[in-house]
Structure 1
């Protein structure tokens, strides 16, 4: 095999690895993706997708998974029967293990305490007010909204609030149809799948159509009725950008009265983005050379000038995969390639990706 053939073969092998990782992530999305590093821990009965990165030291051994792109309809993991409730302590440990999300973690812990005290008052025959658990998640893409929604479903299942604890994710396309009467049916089917768990509506503000004959309002009305009819076994979480979600909720008295809990997801800091990158290396059995870490930090800072377009954790994945392509191109020029070579990511790999020098025989990455 000549040098050119060898180079092409190594590049294609690396691209196959990247494609496999990406396809696996897309199958398990929760929309903001990242799972945990390879830690030999016992898996929980339900293996949710992850979009908020978890620190290696406190990972629960969940499989890799991302925040989903635009969807065509309702998505829920296959589930023949409800899994047994997980231990609340384990779920809280998993929450603490996510990178960043300090304010969100605090709000979730406060909500857990509120629910527990509410239940104790009921057990002791004390009066309680109706507890609304419907929430609004706001923030840029890739900040962990889907992951926390999925975790909240499992936490509410553990607390006995929800009977199943699954998450069903939809967007406008999964709720709104093009003809009169079809939207209510389509939305009702999504609600039915979510009963016992959480209905997660991504970019919920898109339900507010710009024209008078838009069917988005029909979906909103159907969801509001379901929130009332199934208030004991359904939680609805609406998610999207900050300003748009605020206008959406306050545009409708029904929405305003039912959504009274707001969680804001901050963009990741440069150090948190670097921690996510290093977690990706650990998950994929790659070793980042010590002198390459600073180059990665600078690369991520440059790419993250606009967090919304960069995509926070999703942007880290794109940077990581670009560096893998550059590593493949470098290795293709070596006479021999060892196992250690395949694991090592160098400063030269990072700089090549940063300068756009990666070779992509498939027409772009």
Structure 2
């Protein structure tokens, strides 16, 4: 999709860069990052920079003009992008357009994920097996009939969705899936409000998923009221049938907490036989949580020093000792990172003329209040 406002957005930021101190804000680089990664924090970063520039150059008419133009073109860029996605989601999924990443790069993406050592080992073995089966097929050798469907178990925030997306694209590159696109659904997407309509709804979801990965998070919610929920039973019956009917060009990945997933598979005799690969996602330890934080900072052009990392590792260790079943692992770290960025923005916005170092560096003062608050609330 060619966004007709992309050039305007990029050109406005380039012009603004010319009117402010050379190399200090790098607005063009920031805009390119927004277009490539589509991460909300990058937009906030741009908005922070524009606010600082407006204050610092309030008496410069050219700067005022281009600050407004960058802000307006940001809205136009995202407005057009969202409208295009709404109008074309039935025909062209952005997932399909962006899944032509090479197999070596996908394997690198998988293996560079923080932690998840047992998961990566299992997935790498699975991929090696599928590679050899495809090679045997080209040589006319026998290939056992097996399902590609997977079950992911473990606590939230442990990377299940991320790994599922990568697997879909890897299977596409191996020729096991025709498109490799990714569709995530929940109970409400599969179950209708009237008897007899659920089967049609499941078929519709399956047709949209064909060629890619259908990811059903908290899959046990389908049968959570199995004593009285005839809609859930109807859904599960149709889903079990579809797992076999669509097996040649579809991977269904069901995911959720470990114990409820065991009950989910016990709820239908034919269900477990459709899944021959079960992967447990472990909780992250304090080093891995710190690694996720470092990665988030790096990806978003922020920096944290070793003093903060020592404090944060100790903090994560305490959190892990006190965690309950609702601990959200990677999501917990992302929430902490976003709070750190907000504190950083509040502090830097008070500076008269912040440098690029000021805009990037997160200080202890941005972090400590968050750690004390979270520990005391557990």
The TM-score range, normalised by the shorter chain, is 0.7 to 0.9
Displacement of 1:126 in angstroms is: 2.7
Superposition map of 1:308-327 within 5 A: 308-327=325-344
Select the residue among 125, 129, 134 that pairs with 1:119.
134
Alignment partner, residue 371 of structure 2: 354
Select the residue among 355, 364, 374 that pairs with 1:338.
355
Superposition map of 1:234-245 within 5 A: 234-245=250-261
Partner SS for 2:230: coil
CA distance in 1, matches of 2:346, 2:212: 46
CA distance in 1, matches of 2:40, 2:342: 20
CA distance in 1, matches of 2:372, 2:116: 31
Conservation of the 8 A alpha-carbon contact between 2:176 and 2:249: yes
Select the residue among 164, 169, 176 that pairs with 1:161.
176
Partner SS for 1:237: strand
Alignment partner, residue 362 of structure 1: none
Q: TM-score of the superposition, structure 1-length normalised?
A: 0.72
Residue segments in structure 2 that go unaligned for 5+ positions in a row? 1-33, 42-88
Does residue 199 (structure 1) correspond to residue 204 (structure 2)? The answer is: no
Higher RCO structure (Cα 8 Å, ≥6 apart): 1
Conservation of the 8 A alpha-carbon contact between 2:181 and 2:211: yes
1:153-175 deviation line (CA, Å, top 9, x unaligned): 11111111111111111011110
CA distance in 1, matches of 2:93, 2:143: 36
Displacement of 1:80 in angstroms is: 9.3
Partner SS for 2:216: strand
CA distance in 2, matches of 1:271, 1:83: 32
Alignment partner, residue 42 of structure 1: none
Conservation of the 8 A alpha-carbon contact between 2:265 and 2:271: yes
CA distance in 2, matches of 1:209, 1:103: 29
Q: Let me know the Cα RMSD of the aligned residues.
A: 2.7
CA distance in 1, matches of 2:97, 2:355: 46
Alignment partner, residue 134 of structure 1: 149
Alignment partner, residue 48 of structure 2: none
Residue segments in structure 1 that go unaligned for 5+ positions in a row? 1-19, 28-74, 358-365
Does residue 93 (structure 1) correspond to residue 108 (structure 2)? The answer is: yes
CA distance in 1, matches of 2:40, 2:344: 24
Structure whose alpha-carbon radius of gyration is higher: 2
Q: TM-score of the superposition, structure 2-length normalised?
A: 0.70
Question: CA 1:213–1:92 in 2, change beyond 3 Å: closer, same or farther?
Answer: closer
CA distance in 2, matches of 1:330, 1:345: 10
Alignment partner, residue 288 of structure 2: 272
Select the residue among 253, 256, 262 that pairs with 2:269.
253
Select the residue among 155, 175, 181 that pairs with 2:190.
175
Conservation of the 8 A alpha-carbon contact between 1:82 and 1:164: no
